[in-house]
A and B are shown apart, each in its own frame.
Chain A
Amino acid sequence: MAEVVLRRLLATVPVLLLVTAGVFALLHLTPGDPVDAMMAESADASTKESLRRELGLDRPIAVQYAAWMGRLLRGDLGRSIRNGEPVLENVSRRIRPSLQLALLAMAIALTIAFPVAIASAVRHNTGVDRLGTTFALFGICMPNFLLALLLIFVFGVTLRWLPISGYLDPLEEGWSGLRSLILPAVTLGLALAAVITRTLRSSLLEALAEDYVRTARAKGLSEWVVIRGHVLKNALIPVVTVLGLQLGTLIGGAVITEYVFALPGVGRLVVDAVFARDYPLVQGVILLIALGFIVSNLLVDLLYGYIDPRIRLR
């Protein structure tokens, strides 16, 4: 087991190399550099030049990349050009809201998806099923930014039930913190619920068609018992895959939601850094996100093997 994990992790090294090199190249090909962005209101050429020299931006790209790699191997992710703080600190500050948002969104998604998917599968091809699949379809097709704006308008401005911007940490501020996350979490969660509903419904239908289920039904067990007892566990596998993939990308990918709700999350951090050409920050965060994605994939595969012995990692 351990050697499998190790082998997988080793295999990711070339991938990470490709990712970081690719991002590095892209960033440096993009017009504009961090010094111009930082000193937007000043045309002082000599200060800009000395800043560039200090940041090593005047050296050839390959040299810069090698230098970055060298620092990385020593465990130093570098410092953000804009605020001078270590990249790791920048990220760790932003991880908490992103993580909380992701988890809350998942909780909302699962709370909605499970009953809807189960009801759809059980009452297959009835009105309930039609409603469920329609909900799932609409959730997948709804543009996320539109949903966010509608929710803000209805719940924030018209009804004034919930705060529409800013972030308060639920762990510190308790209920007000939670309130600040509800609208963004619902925006993400509804979309996620749609995907999970679809997946779960399909796999439930598939599992319900298995022989052993027919046997259980023949024995006279009610549909509910059948599902709870036998079917649900097996049907969970694809759902676990989906969730695993989503967690990996939810953290780095909720950019638009973070923008609209003014949440200080990781997604916005990366995009802002790209716009400001804050090279070390972009490099560092991309690396961490890619790493996170790979690790979460690995965990999902391991979990797979645990749930279903038939699908062990080889």
Chain B
Amino acid sequence: MDTSTRAFVFAEPAPAVNDRRWGALRRAARARLAPFGAAVLLAAIVVALAAPLLSPYDPLAQDLGNVLARPGRVHWLGTDNVGRDVLSRVIWGTRVSLVAGFVSVAIAAAAGGVLGMLAGYAGGRADGVVMRLMDAVLSLPPLVLALALGAVLGAGLTGVLLALGVVYTPAFARLMRGQVLSVKTRDYVEAARALGASGWWIARRHVLPNAATPIVVQASLSVAFAILAEASLSFLGLGIQPPAASWGSMINAGRGYLQQAPWIVFGPGAALFVTVVALNFVGDAIRDGLDPRLRG
């Protein structure tokens, strides 16, 4: 299916490997890749933060006399259709993509977490309403939902962040609700309840720490997809406003020049691909590392 859609459907659940030998072996394999992923991710974050220092040229500086220049010593990744340095734009684009990924997932985790807790705790009617709402969001084609939300919220990165946040919320809501439900019935919780502890205290003391793990796992896996999703939305014309660029919008703008100047597409394309791959490595490592069933 479309990356666009796939990026919205969160990753498959973590497999439970209950045999020690297999588990250890798998962890070893992962361990080799995870540092690589972490290194790339760290590099991306550094690049994003230090963009003004690392970028060889002003990403907005146009040079209409030198458009579509091939990669070379002066411009390592060539220039685009208005003569801007592609490498500089890729570097600055890192900020946008990482922000899009992390912020939208943060929004989804926060909103979904709150909704899930509400549903889990209140139970009954409120639970029903919240879950039906989540189902409603899930049954819409994600791209269409993001498009409609984007059109209403107006152009710009904020609109995209909110739209993606909404689309990913159900996953976190379900997760949190599940956690609350499972913790609610535990003995020590009932004991605490009997002793007069308030819901909030129980939430803070028991629910959140337990829920933290699966939420972090889910979040880490979602960030990669959120970055891809932002790129897909840019393809359809939503998102970051010019002249700023995200990798997705650069690929979209450059796709008409694929034959003449493929570097406009492949520069950001490679950056996008490598970052998403690295995030997947890291996400998998976190999942395997935190999975209680894999430990000992």
A positions within 8 Å CB-CB of B: 12, 14-16, 18-19, 22-23, 26-27, 29-31, 105, 124-125, 130, 137-138, 140-147, 149, 153, 157, 188, 191-192, 195, 198-199, 202-203, 205-206, 208-209, 238, 242, 245-246, 249-250, 252-257, 267, 270-271, 274, 286, 289-290, 293-294
Complex-state Cα separation, A16 to B169, whole angstroms: 18
- Chain B residue at minimum C-beta to C-beta distance from A29: B152
CB contact between B12 and one of A18, A124, A198 (< 8 Å): that residue = A198
Complex-state Cα separation, A82 to B15, whole angstroms: 49
CB neighbours of A149 from chain B (8 A): 255, 258, 265
CB neighbours of B61 from chain A (8 A): none
**Residues A242 and B25 in contact in the complex (CB < 8 Å), given A145-B235, A257-B2:** no
Interface string of B1-40 (1 = CB under 8 A from A): 1111110010011011111001001100100000000000
CB contact between A249 and one of B13, B15, B141 (< 8 Å): that residue = B141
Asked whether A26 lies within 8 Å of B2 as measured between CB atoms, the reply is: no
CB distance from A70 to the nearest CB of B (A): 21
Asked whether A195 lies within 8 Å of B12 as measured between CB atoms, the reply is: yes
CB neighbours of B5 from chain A (8 A): 249-250, 253-255
- Chain B residue at minimum C-beta to C-beta distance from A158: B259
Q: How many pairs, one residue from A and one from B, have CB atoms within 8 Å of each other in the complex?
A: 171
- Secondary structure at chain B's binding surface: helix, strand, loop or mixed? helix
**Residues A245 and B9 in contact in the complex (CB < 8 Å), given A22-B136, A255-B143, A293-B139:** yes
Asked if B164 CB lies within 8 Å of chain A CBs, one says: no
CB distance from B126 to the nearest CB of A (A): 14
CB neighbours of A18 from chain B (8 A): 132-133, 136
Asked whether B148 lies within 8 Å of A27 as measured between CB atoms, the reply is: yes
Asked whether A142 lies within 8 Å of B2 as measured between CB atoms, the reply is: no
CB distance from B80 to the nearest CB of A (A): 16
Q: List 26 A-B contacts (CB under 8 A).
A: A15-B132, A23-B140, A26-B148, A26-B152, A30-B151, A125-B29, A137-B277, A138-B273, A141-B277, A143-B248, A145-B4, A146-B269, A149-B258, A149-B265, A153-B258, A188-B1, A191-B3, A203-B15, A205-B22, A245-B9, A249-B141, A252-B141, A255-B236, A270-B144, A274-B144, A286-B140
CB distance from B93 to the nearest CB of A (A): 14
Complex-state Cα separation, A246 to B142, whole angstroms: 13
Complex-state Cα separation, A250 to B149, whole angstroms: 21
Asked whether A255 lies within 8 Å of B2 as measured between CB atoms, the reply is: yes
CB neighbours of B133 from chain A (8 A): 18
CB contact between A138 and one of B13, B25, B140, B277 (< 8 Å): that residue = B277
CB neighbours of A254 from chain B (8 A): 1-2, 5
Asked whether B3 lies within 8 Å of A195 as measured between CB atoms, the reply is: no
Closest 5 CB pairs of A and B: A253-B5, A144-B3, A202-B15, A252-B141, A18-B136
Asked if B47 CB lies within 8 Å of chain A CBs, one says: no
Asked whether A191 lies within 8 Å of B258 as measured between CB atoms, the reply is: no
CB neighbours of B142 from chain A (8 A): 249, 253
Complex-state Cα separation, A86 to B228, whole angstroms: 36
- 14 further A-B contacts with Cβ under 8 Å, apart from A144-B232, A146-B265, A290-B136, are A12-B135, A19-B139, A105-B1, A144-B4, A144-B6, A146-B269, A195-B1, A205-B15, A205-B17, A205-B26, A256-B3, A267-B141, A270-B144, A274-B144
CB distance from A107 to the nearest CB of B (A): 14
Asked whether A256 lies within 8 Å of B235 as measured between CB atoms, the reply is: yes
Asked if B48 CB lies within 8 Å of chain A CBs, one says: no
- Chain B residue at minimum C-beta to C-beta distance from A204: B15
Asked whether B258 lies within 8 Å of A145 as measured between CB atoms, the reply is: no
Complex-state Cα separation, A138 to B12, whole angstroms: 16
Interface size on B, residues (CB 8 A): 54
- Chain A residue at minimum C-beta to C-beta distance from B150: A30
CB neighbours of B15 from chain A (8 A): 202-203, 205-206
Asked whether B1 lies within 8 Å of A191 as measured between CB atoms, the reply is: yes
CB neighbours of A270 from chain B (8 A): 141, 144
CB distance from B260 to the nearest CB of A (A): 12
CB neighbours of B265 from chain A (8 A): 146, 149
Asked if B161 CB lies within 8 Å of chain A CBs, one says: no
CB neighbours of A253 from chain B (8 A): 1-2, 4-5, 141-143
Asked whether A274 lies within 8 Å of B147 as measured between CB atoms, the reply is: yes
CB distance from B218 to the nearest CB of A (A): 16
**Residues A14 and B2 in contact in the complex (CB < 8 Å), given A30-B148, A30-B152:** no
Complex-state Cα separation, A192 to B258, whole angstroms: 25
CB distance from A47 to the nearest CB of B (A): 26
- Chain A residue at minimum C-beta to C-beta distance from B22: A209
Asked if B251 CB lies within 8 Å of chain A CBs, one says: yes
Asked if B276 CB lies within 8 Å of chain A CBs, one says: yes
Complex-state Cα separation, A296 to B281, whole angstroms: 31
Complex-state Cα separation, A138 to B278, whole angstroms: 11
